Homo-oligomer: A and B are copies of this chain.
């Protein structure tokens, strides 16, 4: 295993009723900006729970943070934070609201000319507004990490940023907040978490049995709990709790320590979202089988381990076991209702050419050299 530094100071408050404890974790007298999305939290009671817990605080609101949160939207919140002297941010929502609010936290004190440089130029973040989060959708892991992804609507660019200053001070994870979600968002979350694990696991062996088994444990849990979520007519607490904890553990840094991470699937997927508005998780489900097929030789050792330990595939030649594992992966995505082909989403060759060109100009795809910019076209063409 490679050398690593691990640090994750996020306090997790997990379980039913935990929103009521919010006041124990925000400094007395803090001036809070509560951020959220389209207002579903007003229908499902979460908004009221938060407001009740914060009745002794001065709470302002900023709503309308969209999925794949827009830089343009978030900058409006930055103005409010600056003008109103906000000193604590409280995103209430899923990954988009959390990621967007991390950007607000970083952009508020940014002293350069253009806050977009935090993403485009990876400009250094030296100060950020404190934040805590109330999670209402298990998917991105943003609740227990210090990164985010923001989209510039004007240029269709979707880019990542991060800094240890952006770890939430706490995150409330109450599985009951997910009860009112449409099943599409639950299953997107399952696939998102699954691919997060795969980005950190399905690369190259570095003799890291703990990290590997943790990753496999998360994949097995998602494979078990996904169909249960689909099958139950009314939400089951334990099922939602296990999905939520899996998604958090999938991207809190732990399973990536000392191993080789990839993120090429995400990078390609981000372009599909930026150009076509396809749900983030769906883009991952489209890209991953193509990427793994392209990497069948290079990542063969890990693919065979995955085949055996996650899918219990022990018969056949190496190539047959790898092929079957990739097929099982795609079938799992399909089993939770995801359409995994570009054709299903009306994306054709012209779009592949545009996206491929963008990577060729950028000169890289993920964090490993095995997936080259020149490979993107072939990967996407295999997914038509």
Q: Is A22 an interface residue (CB 8 A)?
A: no
Q: How many residues of A contact B (CB 8 A)?
A: 41
CA A16 to CA B212, docked complex, whole Å: 21
- A17 vs B4: C-alpha distance when bound (angstroms): 11
Cα separation A254 to B253 with both chains bound (whole Å)? 13
Cα-based distance from A105 to B247 in the complex (angstroms): 36
Chain B residue contacts of A245, Cβ below 8 A: 1, 210, 258
Quick one: CB contact mask for A1-17 with B, threshold 8 Å, 1 for yes? Answer: 11111111111111111
- How many of these chains are in the complex? 2
B17 touches A13 (CB 8 A): no
Known: A17-B3, A18-B3, A207-B242. A221 touches B225 (CB 8 A): no
Task: Say yes or no for A257: interface residue by CB 8 A criterion.
Answer: yes
**Inter-chain contacts of A217 with B (CB < 8 A):** 209-210, 212-214, 216-217
* Given A217-B213, A217-B217: A14 in contact with B208 (beta carbons within 8 A): no
Contacts of A59 in B (CB 8 A): none
Partner of A209, one of B16, B208, B214, B221: B221
- Asked if A11 contacts B15 (CB within 8 A), the reply is no
- Indicate if A224 sits at the interface (CB-CB under 8 A): yes
Tell me the complex Cα distance, A241–B4, Å. 12
The interface residues of chain B lying within 8 Å CB-to-CB of A242 are 1, 207-210
The reply to whether A5 and B16 contact each other, CB–CB distance below 8 Å, is: no
The minimal Cβ–Cβ distance linking A19 to chain B, given in whole angstroms, is 12
Q: Which residue of B lies closest to A16 (CB)?
A: B3
Judged by a CB distance under 8 angstroms, whether A151 is at the interface is no
A246 CB contacts on chain B under 8 angstroms = 210
A218 at the binding interface (Cβ < 8 Å): yes
Tell yes or no: A249 within 8 A of B by CB. Answer: yes
Residues facing B in A212-239 (CB within 8 A) are 212-214, 216-218, 220-221, 224-225, 238
* From B9, B14, B214, B225, contact of A3 by CB (8 A): B14
Docked-complex contact A1 and B241, CB < 8 angstroms: yes
Query: Please, how many angstroms separate the alpha-carbon atoms of A7 and B214 in the complex?
Result: 19
Interfacial residues, chain A to chain B (CB-CB below 8 A): 1-18, 207-210, 212-214, 216-218, 220-221, 224-225, 238, 241-242, 245-246, 249, 254, 257-258
Question: Which 8 A-B pairs give the minimum distances between C-beta atoms?
Answer: A3-B15, A213-B217, A9-B9, A6-B12, A7-B11, A207-B238, A209-B221, A4-B14
The 14 listed contacts between A and B (C-beta, < 8 Å) are A1-B238, A4-B12, A5-B11, A8-B9, A14-B258, A15-B258, A207-B242, A209-B217, A209-B242, A210-B249, A213-B214, A213-B217, A214-B214, A217-B217
